[in-house]
Chain A
Amino acid sequence: MMNQIVLLDVAAKAAEMAQKDPYGLIMTLVAVSVVFFSLFLLQLCYRFIGWLSTREKKPAAAKKMPAAEAEVAAAIATALSLENGGETQAAIALALHRYLSESLHDRESYIITIKRK
């Protein structure tokens, strides 16, 4: 019974559509616009969520270059620009050493240990 009612409803709507839009062009225009609108809206949302997410992911260090990192960069840049044989290697090595030993920490332990004599 319910099926018959539903099918009658479908037939009535189909007859109405056949009268209003015999070639289906209005339907096509409206439907394609709605599909595009839906997915456009969705992509806007995900772009925003993605933007928020990547913004959060950036480490604090990347937002503002800390002094230690700036020094490293400057040392490497200077050494490379001078291109002065052994000094270049020494500067790069020093810069890398300082960078690795001093600033490559994303989390400090905050534990101080005292070694007794």
Chain B
Amino acid sequence: MFYLAAEGGGAADHNPILPAWQELVVGGIAFILLCVVLMKFVFPRMEQTFQARVDAIEGGIKRAEAAQAEANKLLEQYRAQLAEARTDAAKIRDDARADAEGIRQDILAKAREESDRIIAAGKEQLAAERATIVRELRAEVGTIAVDLASKIVGESLADEARRKGTVDRFLSGLESAGAR
């Protein structure tokens, strides 16, 4: 075995600082094979994976930010719409209140006018009726009084002019007495 050879000056056969060319060849082939496989099929894919991971994380953050921004925008929009709707409602209420007040005032004014008109018409009618009645009464009272006087006095008061003057005087006397 080799240790016998070593005893027989084997150390002189091998200089450890001089490379054996066969080992250089074998090592070269093996190492280049390793380099080709790893540098071609493994590490570039790792770089891709790293990049994909970075993209995924950054993309996720970006997407989340975009979604957040959109949500905020929608919220703002809803708030604005809500505020607008509230303002509208308040305005409508105010308008309605004002309208109702106006209508009430109108109706009141109309009613007052109507009542005034009715009252005025009633008064007028009353006055007219009263005048008519007074006129009729006056004529009738005159006749009755003349008739009565004729019967009482027994004399014919045919003289138209006298009779008329007497009655009128009497009535005037009555009226002035009533007024007093």
Does B associate with A?
no
Residues of A within 8 A of B (CB): none
